[in-house]
Amino acid sequence: MKKLLPCIIVVLFLVPRTAKAQFESVRDSVVQLYGIVMTADSLVGIPAVSICVKGQNRCTITNDQGVFSIVVLKGDIVEFSHVSYKPKSVPIPRNLEGNQYSVVQLMITDTVYLPMTIIKPRPTAEQFARDFVNTKVPDDNLEIVRQNNDAAKRRVLLKSTPGDGGEATSLQMRNISTKASYAGQTPPMNIFNPAAWAKFIESWKRGDFKNKN
């Protein structure tokens, strides 16, 4: 034990210094990147520009004036993207002095060419009226919600949707409670339960027992 004591003292002395050095290294590599994104032709701030660190899930967007701020690390590559402009990439210098880095990023308008569409009128008014009446209009959100709330569709969804963890736990706890309640005696049979007969008759009227094939 006396031989190990000097080693323990050395370890206890070096560990805090090593941890402190690692902390200082990490803190020195963190950079606050801020700046403004503007159009290259008119120097107007661009709102809603996505600013992401390449290969990571750290992102932000510019405000209404094109100003942004994000925390990055030295050596990261920051990507600027917008649906109306060509994407840009900005590398953060590894030998940057300090922990702040400002940029003024200019973006060039990106022209998007859509495929050609030819619009032709119907030959006659009668044909237009016939096609207009027979054209199926896609369901809107309100109609989709109304269909999902249909009683028959809800029954199908309840049968096909698996239970989650909370439902499984609740079912298991009810089974354990039932077994504990009737421990040492014969549990009651549902054939003599009026409530069970009422549910059976209601299911029979709904047609739950009909052959689906």
Evaluate the CA torsion angle 55, 58, 61, 62 in order and state its sign.
negative
Q: What is the mean pLDDT of residues 126-154?
A: 83
The kind and range of the H/E element at 86 are strand 85-91
143 vs 183, residue with greater confidence? 143
Identify residue 69 by its one-letter amino acid code. S
Res. 22 pLDDT band, cuts 50 70 90: very low
Gap between the Cα atoms of 180 and 64, Å rounded: 64
189, pLDDT greater than 60? yes
- pLDDT score for 1: 52
Q: How far apart are CA 167 and CA 32, in angstroms?
A: 46
With a CB cutoff of 8 Å and minimum separation 6, the contacts of 106 are 37, 38, 39, 40, 43
Which of 150 and 68 is assigned the larger pLDDT?
Answer: 68
Q: Which domains does the chain have, with CATH numbers?
A: 29-107 (2.60.40.1120), 120-184 (no CATH)
pTM for this predicted structure = 0.46
* In contact, 102 and 34? CB cutoff 8 Å: yes
pLDDT digits (tens, 9 = 90+) for 45-68: 999 999 999 988 889 999 999 999
